[in-house]
Amino acid sequence: MVNLSDSAEGPEGLKKNVFLTTIDNVYNWGRVRSMWPMAFGLACCAIEFMAMMAARFDLSRFGMEIIRASPRQADLMFVSGTVTKKMAPNIVRLYNQMAEPKYVLAVGACAISGGPFKEGYNVVSGIDKFLPVDVYVPGCPPTPEALLYGVMKVHEKVMGQSVRTAPWYKRDQLNEPLPMPVLGPDLYNPKDRDALKKLTAAKVEHG
Ligand code: SF4
């Protein structure tokens, strides 16, 4: 039994928290059952994604069958397949165009770490170098069941969030877009531009 007087904020504070917790549950329940995934197939893992969508595995049981082609209408990004250096800037651009709150699910070994192409000259060794990944689903490719489990893990994360602490509701937090990686001779983070310039200048100076 809860003793209201035990609360650090006193009975009034606890009542407020109970009220907000109920709001959180209703709000998150609605979000979990109306997520709109954005999909773009990068390689073979996308075939398993399609299987997950189809009747046998049936993503629509979660109310998630509306796959959006536009990032502006999506709140869950599946990165399914091999991320090439040429594609990475476009993936970050799409992510930046999604509205908050948004989530990222990395599908398969390639999206997680580069997979069998990890040391390839044109492959990114993990999309989490550029995007905040919420759930990783390993496998080459992961089965549709594993993908569904990953989706349920995203749901778990959403259910654990609160309107009190969610960054997208904080007045002082303007959700800054992520820096776009730039494809030069190689991919680099524009935040590192000054350091790279210095490095290049030093190399030129010393031959
Ligand atoms: S993890 Fe395996 S199945 Fe998935 S995109 Fe890479 S090579 Fe293809």
| Per-residue pLDDT at 127 | 93
Which residues span the domain enclosing 79? 21-179
pLDDT at position 123 is: 93
pLDDT of residue 185: 67
Strand ranges inside the chain, DSSP E: 37-41, 76-80, 103-107, 135-137, 182-183, 187-188
Q: Give the model's pLDDT for residue 15.
A: 62
Give average pLDDT by consecutive 10-residue segment, the chain, 207 residues: 48 63 87 87 93 91 87 94 92 92 95 92 91 96 96 94 78 72 75 72 68
Centre of ligand 1 to C-alpha 49, Å, is 12
Residue located nearest, by CA, to atom 5 of ligand 1: 81
pLDDT for 202 equals 75
pTM to 2 decimal places = 0.81
In this predicted structure, what is the pLDDT of residue 117?
Answer: 93
- Domain-embedded: residue 139: yes
Q: Is residue 89 part of a domain?
A: yes
**Hey, which of 52, 140, 143 would you mutate to test ligand 1's pocket, going by the most ligand atoms within 8 Å of its Cβ?**
140
- Which CATH number belongs to the domain containing residue 169 in this structure? 3.40.50.12280
CB 86 within 8 A of CB 183: yes
Residue 130 lies in a domain: yes
How many separate domains does the chain show? 1
Instruction: Say how many Å lie between the CA of residue 103 and the centre of ligand 1.
Output: 21
pLDDT at 163: 80
